Amino acid sequence: MSTSDAADVDRASIERTTAELLAAVNASDADRCSAVWAVRGVLMPPHHPAVPGHQAIVQYFRTLFSRRKFSFTFTSSQIHLVGDTALERVTYRAIIWPGDDAPPIEDVGKGLHVYERQPNGSWKLTHDIWNSDQPVPS
């Protein structure tokens, strides 16, 4: 396999991980979300302290999904491969149902995903940080 073919395989594998993350978030499935994470990964959500490690991440998603539902799409993705690490810059659009019968909120923003190649050739998230493009609510 040429270097370029190998990179294509890596990109396709990373895209599958990203698609699985989206599907899991949109299905409010905390266990499925945490399965795309490396064991020592760190989730870095806005307006919340960093969430370090698999167990804390699954608990974070369980609590989150008990309160809110999401429909996320990534509106752009640029993947940069460096050995066994990959960096993905994304933009997103999200609809958020905040619960308590409140109307849905729309958000657009951007993020960085860092992935690490696993021994079986799959890629898992080690870092995920994002923030909104929209002004702070007044």
Return residues touching a second copy (CB under 8 A): 42, 44-50, 80, 82-85, 87, 89, 91, 110-112, 114, 127, 129-137
In angstroms, what CA-CA distances link 91 with 6, 36, 131?
26, 19, 10
Write down the least CB distance from residue 130 to a second copy, Å.
7
Q: In the numeric block, which tokens belong to residue 125?
A: 């998230």
Q: Say if residues 116 and 36 touch (Cβ distance below 8 Å).
A: no
Least Å from the CB of residue 111 to a second copy: 7
- As measured in angstroms, the least distance from the Cβ of 34 to a second copy is 19
Instruction: Select from 56, 66, 54 the least CA-distant residue to 126.
Output: 54
- Closer by beta carbon to a second copy, 16 or else 40: 40
